[in-house]
A and B are shown apart, each in its own frame.
Chain A
Amino acid sequence: MTGAAAKPPVLQLDGIVSGYDGLDVLKGISLTVHAGEFVTVVGPNGHGKSTLLKTISGLVPLRGGQISIDGQRLSGKPHETAMLGVAHVPQGDMLFAQMSVLENLLMGAYLAPDKAVIARRLDEVYALLPKLADRRNQIASSLSGGERRMVGIGRGLMMGGRILLIDEPSLGLAPLIIDQVYGVISQLSRAGRTILLVEENPARVEDLADRLHLLDDGAIVWSGKPAELMARDELLATYLGG
Chain B
Amino acid sequence: MTDVLMAILVAGFTSGALYALATVGLSLVWGSMGMLNMAHAAMLTLGGYVAFTVITSLGLPIALGFAGAIVAGAVAGAILYFAIVRNLLKNDKSTFEANVMIATVGIGIALENAILLTYGGQPLKQPVSIAGTFRLGPLTLPWQNLMIIAVVVVMMVVVSLALGRTRMGRAIRATAQNRDAAQLMGVAVNRVYLQVLMLSGALAGICGVMVSSMTQLSPPLGNDPMLKAFIMCVVAGLGNLPGAVAAALGLALLESFVQYALGARWGFPSLLFVVIAVLIWRPSGLFGRAEIRRM
Contacts and interface: CB of A to CB of B under 8 A. Distances in A.
Find out whether A and B make contact in their complex, taking CB atoms under 8 A apart as touching: yes
Interface of A: 57-59, 77-79, 82-83, 88, 90, 94-99, 103, 106-108, 110-111, 155, 159
Given A78-B183, A94-B181, A99-B173, 15 more contacts: A78-B180, A78-B184, A79-B186, A79-B189, A82-B186, A83-B186, A95-B178, A96-B178, A96-B182, A107-B170, A107-B182, A107-B185, A110-B167, A111-B185, A159-B186
B41 interface: no
Interface of B: 167, 170-171, 173-174, 177-178, 180-189
A83 B184 CA distance: 9
Contacts of B189: 79
B184 A96 contact: no
Contacts of B188: 77, 79
A59 B189 CA distance: 12
A106 B173 CA distance: 13
A78 B178 CA distance: 14
Q: B interface, by DSSP: helix, strand, loop or mixed?
A: helix
Given A96-B174, A107-B170, A155 B180 contact: no
B86 to A, nearest CB: 14
Contacts of B185: 82, 107-108, 110-111, 155, 159
Contact of A90 (B170, B173, B174, B180): B180
17 contacts: A58-B183, A59-B184, A78-B180, A79-B183, A79-B186, A79-B187, A82-B183, A83-B186, A94-B180, A94-B181, A96-B173, A96-B181, A99-B170, A107-B171, A107-B174, A107-B185, A159-B185
B93 to A, nearest CB: 12
A156 B48 CA distance: 46
Interface pairs A-B: 9 shortest CB-CB? A82-B186, A78-B183, A94-B181, A111-B186, A96-B177, A79-B188, A110-B185, A88-B184, A79-B186
A181 B171 CA distance: 28
Indicate the member of A77, A78, A83 with the most B CB atoms within 10 Å: A78
A59 B180 contact: yes
Nearest to A82: B186
Contacts of B181: 90, 94-96
Given A95-B178, A96-B174, A98-B173, A110 B186 contact: yes
Contacts of B177: 96-99
Contacts of B174: 96, 99, 107, 110
A161 to B, nearest CB: 10
A99 B175 CA distance: 12
A195 B180 CA distance: 21
A110 B188 CA distance: 11
A27 to B, nearest CB: 24
Nearest to B164: A103
